[in-house]
Structure 1
Amino acid sequence: MENNIKQEIENTLEVLKKGGLILYPTDTVWGIGCDATNPEAVAKVYKLKKREEKKAMICLVNSVKMLEQYVNKIPNIAYDLIDFAVKPTTIIYDDPIKVANNLIAEDETLAIRVVADKFCEPLIYKFRKALVSTSANISGEPTPKSFSQISPEILKGVDYIVNLQHSKTSDQPSSIIKIGKDGSVKVIRQ
């Protein structure tokens, strides 16, 4: 792992452990993140984005093993979707557990993505908890396609900006798939 990535992971961990907000490159777009188990931190994200709390956000985990800690029962189809996805894919699961209550949608679901990113994966591994990930914009405004498009309000509103602005993230958000209790699969966003 590159030294600057190692240092950024250490800096980011300090902020996350204190309940702070981070601005970080993900496997898709730049995101605002925090500890997904900390309701106060999650509330700060909603406030910064000026987003209604009933609008759900995504969580990131670093492995299927970690995913299993946050979902009561993972449908078998989810394992196939994760294994065969050709681009970052977020899956909406029923009956999430062990996350902040204000992160769970009104219909008792939670969107979670297993990441394989050179910054996020080791960060989450070392943090040992899921991270919130939501696009780095005020609610209703366009998703920034690069770091340079992130608004000053967002930049000022986070506690730490990961210093990897030149690392290439995708300018596309993830696919979102919802798996129903009956095992049905519905594509929410391609």
Structure 2
Amino acid sequence: MKREDDIKKAVDILRKGGVILYPTDTVWGIGCDATNPEAVKRVYEIKQRDDSKALICLVDSEARLQRYVRNVPGVAWQLFECADKPTTVILDGAVNLAENLIAADGSVALRITKEEFSKELCYRFQKAVVSTSVNISGQPAAQNFCDIPQEILDKVDYVCWSRRQEHKPHTPSSIIRLGMGGEVEIIRK
């Protein structure tokens, strides 16, 4: 399947409130429309994860990121610009997202993806896409398609074809929390 057709199918599923598995700039991700609370609930159920643990969202651009946070501190832009690996930033003041995606303190974890497939997926969808690792909570993340448990494959609405043949190490993103006053806390290197 051509990448363009793969993305078109994935976007169609996302628009219908479905859940997909897709390659990202890090490990394989379980994705859904980050503004759809029912879809977000399904992701938590598939991962068997407590919904008090927030999920990461991917966006394709700085402009799109600004739709989901009231005030993005200047240091966030510096982090995105200087990062030498995929970096997720936890920001306060989340807006325009599913309530069950926003942490109890009002924050959200966002990453601007630069990887071709996930960037194009987010661009075509025109919204933030949930991007949590493909695994049952507490188990190792699926670095490659071949690592995805059948139990998860059976529970989603679409599995992307792109990059299924890859067999190389992938690691999760760095996670950095930024406070409104410019405080920086490294959650995961």
Distance 1:40 1:31, change over 3 A: same
Q: Indicate yes or no: 2:69 matched with 1:71.
A: yes
Encode CA deviations 1:82-116: one digit per residue, 9 max, x unaligned: 01110000000001100000000111110000001
Residue matched to 2:174: 175
Displacement of 1:159 after TM fit?
0.4
Counterpart amino acid of residue 102 in structure 1: N
Residue matched to 1:119: 117
Report the count of equivalent residues.
Answer: 188
Superposed CA RMSD in Å reads 1.2
Residue matched to 1:156: 154
Residue matched to 1:61: 59
Residue matched to 1:136: 134
Displacement of 1:170 after TM fit?
5.4
| In structure 2, distance between residues paired with 1:160 and 1:57 | 19
**DSSP 3-state at the match of 1:98:** coil
Identity between Structure 1 and Structure 2 (%): 48
Counterpart amino acid of residue 179 in structure 1: L
Q: Indicate yes or no: 2:149 matched with 1:166.
A: no
Displacement of 1:123 after TM fit?
1.1
Displacement of 1:166 after TM fit?
2.1
Residue matched to 1:19: 17
Encode CA deviations 1:102-133: one digit per residue, 9 max, x unaligned: 00011111000000111111111111000000
Residue matched to 2:34: 36
Alpha carbons 1:22, 1:159 under 8 Å: kept: yes
Gaps of 5+ in 2: none
Counterpart amino acid of residue 139 in structure 1: S
| In structure 1, distance between residues paired with 2:84 and 2:169 | 13
**DSSP 3-state at the match of 1:40:** helix
Alpha carbons 1:178, 1:185 under 8 Å: kept: yes
Alpha carbons 1:175, 1:188 under 8 Å: kept: yes
Alpha carbons 2:145, 2:166 under 8 Å: kept: no
When normalised by structure 1's length, the TM-score is 0.96
| In structure 1, distance between residues paired with 2:178 and 2:124 | 29
Gaps of 5+ in 1: none
